Amino acid sequence: SPGKDSGLQGTEKASDLTGVAHKKLEEAAAASDDIPTLAFPSISTADFQFNLEKASDIIVEKVEEFVGKIGKAKLVLVDLSHKSKILSLVKTKAEQKNIDTHKFSTFVGDITRLRSLKGLHCNVIANAANWRLKPGGGGVNAAIFSAAGSELDIATKEKADCLSPGNALVVPLPSSSPLFTREGVTHVIHVLGPNMNPQRPDCLKDDYVHGSELLRKAYTSLFEGFSSIVR
Ligand code: AR6
């Protein structure tokens, strides 16, 4: 009967709408910024001159260890250029180990401009710091302190005045920081990696036994720091 037909149609329409509404909600959730994400640079491999092959093994090993421990949160290794050797080494090794690409990926961009320039929201970023936790000095440290304004310097000083190699320091970013307002970054995690550069303090010369141990410890501290925020 027509009545029955229209009833059926009505039911179908209603369930369609529910489906559409549900899909929209899912899309909104995926597009919104609610999946906690850590963007981190490759610690110690530029100014601190740590061997790239060895560093890439350690990054993949530590990522593999932590992706299962951070719930739905994500990890993203960032570097400035498509030509980045460390990004391609890590990408290849992560693929070989079948690490879930939804949980871990590599990304080309300036870590201080990920949302505004690339549409990638990372609520936490890591910094390859110096032992004094001082702004400037070049590399990603100078970029992050400069982008975050004096707020980061002040918030960092409130937490600690130095860092020893292999350690990380979680610093909540004041909401007045430009990095918070523009990029949606709520925390910076400073990490001090091992130094193999004779021109910098605490050079390990070529001691890769100690150096690798410290780089592992640095990533463990970083990912544990991130977990403590996500929880
Ligand atoms: N966005 C993303 N990645 C970056 C950026 C950026 N804006 N800038 C550099 N990188 P480095 P280290 C990458 O030298 O070796 C500092 O002066 C870069 O290509 O910043 O741990 C500190 O004060 C590389 O892959 O850190 C320390 O004294 C990675 O970030 C010292 O350097 C790390 O390079 C630390 O040396």
Provide the residue range defining the domain that includes 86. 35-230
Closest alpha carbon to 79 in 94, 89, 68, 69: 89
176 Cβ partners below 8 Å, 6+ apart? 149, 151
Instruction: Quote the mean pLDDT of the chain.
Output: 90
Instruction: Say if CB 179 and CB 173 are below 8 A apart.
Output: yes
pLDDT of residue 11: 42
Distance 144 CA to ligand 1 centre (A): 10
Mutational pocket test of ligand 1: of 38, 47, 203, the residue with most ligand atoms within 8 Å of the beta carbon: 47
Q: What are the DSSP calls for 197-217, one per residue?
A: -TTSTTB-TT-HHHHHHHHHH
How many CA atoms lie within 13 Å of 41's alpha carbon, on the beta-carbon side?
A: 30
Distance set, CA 186 to CA 25, 91, 143, 178, 216 (Å): 25, 27, 17, 11, 25
pTM: 0.88
What's the average model confidence in pLDDT over 164-169?
98
Distance 100 CA to ligand 1 centre (A): 26
Distance 200 CA to ligand 1 centre (A): 14
Does residue 61 lie within any of the structural domains?
A: yes
Beta strands in the chain (DSSP E): 37-41, 74-79, 104-108, 124-128, 167-172, 187-192
Distance 210 CA to ligand 1 centre (A): 21
Does residue 195 lie within any of the structural domains?
A: yes
191 bridge partner residues:
128, 168
Q: Give the strand order in the sheet containing 37-41.
A: 104-108, 74-79, 37-41, 124-128, 187-192, 167-172
Does residue 10 lie within any of the structural domains?
A: no
pLDDT of residue 18: 55
118 Cβ partners below 8 Å, 6+ apart? 107, 109
SS3 call for 39: strand
Does residue 9 lie within any of the structural domains?
A: no
105 bridge partner residues:
76
Does residue 23 lie within any of the structural domains?
A: no
Does residue 52 lie within any of the structural domains?
A: yes
How confident is the model over 66-116, as pLDDT tens digits? 999 999 999 999 999 999 999 999 999 999 999 999 999 999 999 999 999
pLDDT of residue 34: 80
Query: What residues flank ligand 1, with Cβ below 6 Å?
Result: 41-48, 78-80, 86, 110-112, 128, 130, 137-141, 143, 193, 200
pLDDT of residue 21: 55
Q: How many domains does the chain have?
A: 1
Q: Among the atoms of ligand 1, which is closest to the Cα of residue 49?
A: 15
ipTM of the modeled complex: 0.99
Does residue 19 lie within any of the structural domains?
A: no
pLDDT of residue 17: 47
